[in-house]
Structure 1
Amino acid sequence: MSANPHLSRRGLLGMTAAVPLALALGGGTAHAADSAYAMVYFTESTKLGDGTDYGLHLAVSPDGLDWTPLNQNNPLVTPTAGALGLRDPFLMRKQDGTFVVLATDLKGTDWNYNSQYIHVWDSADLRTFTGYRRLKLHDMATHSWAPEAFWDAGRRQYAVIYSSVNSSGHNVIMVNYTTDFVTASAPQVFFDPGYDVIDGDMAVGVNGYNYLYFKKNQTLVGARSTTLNPGSFTEFSTGVAHGGTEAPTLVKSLTSGTWWLWGDTYTPNGVFCAWQSTGLASGTWTALDQRTYTQPVNSKHCGIAAITAAEYDNLLAKWGAPAWNRLKSYNHPSRYVRHSNYLGRIDAYPVEPYKDSLWTLVPGLADSSGVSFRSVNYPTRYLRHYDYALRLDANDGTSVFAADATFHRTAGLADASWSSFRSHNHPTRYIRHADYALRIDPVSTTTERQDATFRVGY
């Protein structure tokens, strides 16, 4: 059954009579009609300033790789108890087809704040969030970090796993069992390999195995077991990392046998990285080309679940796509178009201040069939060329400025699924980067075509 294309990120567990035409998953239930994904996350800028918000954020994707943040990348709900903020949100479709959200009770980076509780919301459709409460997990003088859940069919209960320091003196993965996410059983140690581990993420019932990925030192490592019993998992995989990496998230492709492993890096800070594998049994992963995926701006420690096409459409209708865009470089896909000291350039994500990389694409000032790039944080200024270099200038209302700030979007010169931008008043020249600075130049070589190709996204 693990080859079924309609799996959520938690993997198959078995059939359930409670949800017709559906599959019961490790993290909940995936409908046979699932064809898209939803992501929950919080936001944190590298300087903990503008762009940081410890509320619940939501994004959607048709393919699990290219994400559209909803509600202008603003939170949908924020905790009203405990630390009054969250980290590490997790999203799961329950056995009855509705959703539950779990999150760490922590605002900011006060790692000495110890909460025995986690935040919980219910949601029928991810358009409303109800029943907010905190679920108590233990009485220990320690934290309850990165809660996640999966359905344990043998116990007919949900298992809530999370990181805490127990009598061992180091972080272990704990587990409590619940039927309603209102009350829970006493805690047990779920996984203690004898060293510090946090951020457990499960894929259940994949070809006879259950998989647990977690952070070990600065890498993401997997363990597996043929049962879901606490203490039964054994480490087996090759570790992966991009700098210091945490927050593993396993995602099953809805259209192939591919698995993805998302990781959240903190050196460099704030970057999602993704790896892929043709099967979890191998325990090996290959890094994905950054051209193939994006993350919501400033997003941290995500949780991903499969949704239907109708749910995807309804979420976009309810919350809306951003009114702004980001432009990713084709041949430097870790870099985005931004302004710095009023000059146009491409810089590595994350950009500070992040709004320097946000653009409102408006009808061309000189020709409405073209496009002009208006700065989000300097809305009277536009990208325009001057002596062929791109810079951010205030619109002076002249026809010369309008022409300099107007470009015609074409199929990408290096990849037709991306975009290139031809100058309105110098039609043999295109926007391209050279030594990371933006300018308009004639384009003829393979490298120049790549320099002049961008992905317009969020």
Structure 2
Amino acid sequence: MAGYLFVHFTGEQKDGEQIYFSVSRDGLHWTDLNDGKPVLYSHIGECGVRDPFPVKNPLNGRYYLIATDLRIEKGEGWQAAQERGSRDIIIWESEDLVHWEKERAHTVGIREAGCVWAPEAVFDEEEQAFLVFFASKVKCDGEETAKHRIYAAYTKDFVTFSDTFLYMERERDVIDTTILRSNGKYYRISKDETDSRLILEESDSLRGDFKRISCPVFEKLKGMEGPEGYLLPEGRSWCVIADQFAEGKGYLPMITEDLSSGDFTILEKEKYDLGRTKKRHGGVLELSDAEYERLIKAEMEG
């Protein structure tokens, strides 16, 4: 990869829950695009979005951006957002990362879902389709209270989706799942919503059984959410970033050369720069040199 695009939101202030772009050559030092202002706005649903995630279709080269349909800034609070929130995801589509079609909404949450949070997508080579997964708070039969679980659906084009199914359930609430692939294995990093710590798991397949990997750094850090991960340019080290939301400190980079080891090192502050805007839960897309230069050219041309 020759660069990275970080798509994110910035907070609950006016226009904070919209789409912001930042780019980086090394995955550690970021430059905000559009003078740190939103690049895309949602004018449908809740008229605000959080947790945006970009993906590229390996079959046709099209880009998709999916996000949570939620605007906390309007003042209805977190209980309403979890129990009476939108069951839609907001979707943008592009051929070049610069020109984006008008946003659209698609209902992926099951009827009983109180919300659909932090949607992400990973291409399933066996199915030749994207596995789109997200957190929903649902009260199932026999339960006294609702619980966050991870649900999923398949799509080839982000227009037509399969029926939604339960993808992951834990004894306690779980949200903010991201999936990485390394050395033929899949790694899930999720947020335990009960104590706000990250969980690392490994499996041979996307739909297979995942086993938990001990990760001392994740287990030590509390008040974390929105994990994302990507391979750094040298092709050896993985950078996992997570939002230190409880203390309002923004994203923290953690480095490992082997995801299966669970051995991460927290990067020193002087070794990274997240740019001027405060970055909240978002997603990172690896870029080719042509893709990176296209974004920079569009930025310079205004």
Task: Using structure 2 for the length normalisation, give the TM-score.
Answer: 0.88
Aligned residues: 283
Q: Displacement of 1:207 after TM fit? A: 2.1
Is 1:123 aligned to residue 94 of structure 2?
yes
Is 1:207 aligned to residue 187 of structure 2?
no
Q: Displacement of 1:277 after TM fit? A: 0.3
Summarize the Cα distance change of 1:320–1:55 in structure 2 as closer, same or farther, 3 Å threshold: farther
Residue 36 of structure 1 aligns with which residue? 3
* Structure with greater proportional strand content: 1
CA displacement 1:399-446 (0-9 Å, x = unmatched): xxxxxxxxxxxxxxxxxxxxxxxxxxxxxxxxxxxxxxxxxxxxxxxx
Provide the aligned C-alpha RMSD in A: 1.9
Residue 354 of structure 1 aligns with which residue? none
Runs of 4+ displaced beyond 4 Å: none
Summarize the Cα distance change of 1:235–1:69 in structure 2 as closer, same or farther, 3 Å threshold: same
Residue 125 of structure 2 aligns with which residue? 153
> Secondary structure of 2:103's partner?
strand
Residue 427 of structure 1 aligns with which residue? none
Is 1:108 aligned to residue 72 of structure 2?
yes
Q: How do residues 201-280 of structure 1 correspond to structure 2 at under 5 angstroms?
A: 201-204=178-181, 206-216=182-192, 217-229=195-207, 232-238=209-215, 240=218, 242-280=221-259
CA displacement 1:305-362 (0-9 Å, x = unmatched): 111222212212212499xxxxxxxxxxxxxxxxxxxxxxxxxxxxxxxxxxxxxxxx
> Secondary structure of 2:115's partner?
coil
Tell me if structure 1 keeps the 8 A contact 2:115–2:136.
yes
CA displacement 1:6-26 (0-9 Å, x = unmatched): xxxxxxxxxxxxxxxxxxxxx
Distance 1:173 1:236 in 2: 19
Distance 2:300 2:72 in 1: 27
Tell me if structure 1 keeps the 8 A contact 2:213–2:260.
no
Is 1:311 aligned to residue 291 of structure 2?
yes
Summarize the Cα distance change of 1:88–1:321 in structure 2 as closer, same or farther, 3 Å threshold: farther
> Secondary structure of 1:313's partner?
helix
Q: Displacement of 1:162 after TM fit? A: 0.4
> Secondary structure of 2:292's partner?
helix
Indicate the structure whose relative CO is greater, using CA pairs within 8 Å and at least 6 residues apart: 2
Distance 1:134 1:311 in 2: 26
Is 1:76 aligned to residue 76 of structure 2?
no
Is 1:98 aligned to residue 62 of structure 2?
yes
Q: Displacement of 1:38 after TM fit? A: 0.5
Tell me if structure 1 keeps the 8 A contact 2:202–2:260.
no
CA displacement 1:191-235 (0-9 Å, x = unmatched): 11221110000013x2232111011121121111112116x2222
Which consecutive residues of structure 2, in runs of 5 or more, have no partner in the other structure?
Answer: none
Distance 1:176 1:106 in 2: 20
Distance 1:311 1:225 in 2: 31
Q: Displacement of 1:270 after TM fit? A: 4.4
> Secondary structure of 2:17's partner?
strand
Tell me if structure 2 keeps the 8 A contact 1:243–1:268.
no
What amino acid maps onto 2:6 in structure 1?
M
CA displacement 1:8-47 (0-9 Å, x = unmatched): xxxxxxxxxxxxxxxxxxxxxxxxxx31110100112xxx
Identity in percent? 28
Q: Displacement of 1:253 after TM fit? A: 1.2
What amino acid maps onto 2:186 in structure 1?
N
Distance 2:105 2:249 in 1: 27
Residue 190 of structure 1 aligns with which residue? 167
Larger radius of gyration: 1
> Secondary structure of 2:163's partner?
coil
> Secondary structure of 2:290's partner?
helix
What amino acid maps onto 1:115 in structure 2?
S
Tell me if structure 1 keeps the 8 A contact 2:113–2:136.
no
Which consecutive residues of structure 1, in runs of 5 or more, have no partner in the other structure?
Answer: 1-33, 323-458
Residue 48 of structure 2 aligns with which residue? 85
What amino acid maps onto 1:220 in structure 2?
L
Q: Displacement of 1:164 after TM fit? A: 0.7
Distance 1:221 1:284 in 2: 13
Residue 27 of structure 1 aligns with which residue? none
**Segment drifting more, 85-94 vs 185-194:** 185-194
Summarize the Cα distance change of 1:105–1:270 in structure 2 as closer, same or farther, 3 Å threshold: farther
Distance 2:257 2:167 in 1: 27
Residue 6 of structure 1 aligns with which residue? none
**Segment drifting more, 287-296 vs 162-171:** 162-171
Task: Using structure 1 for the length normalisation, give the TM-score.
Answer: 0.59
What amino acid maps onto 1:70 in structure 2?
L
Tell me which of 130, 155, 164 is aligned to 1:178: 155
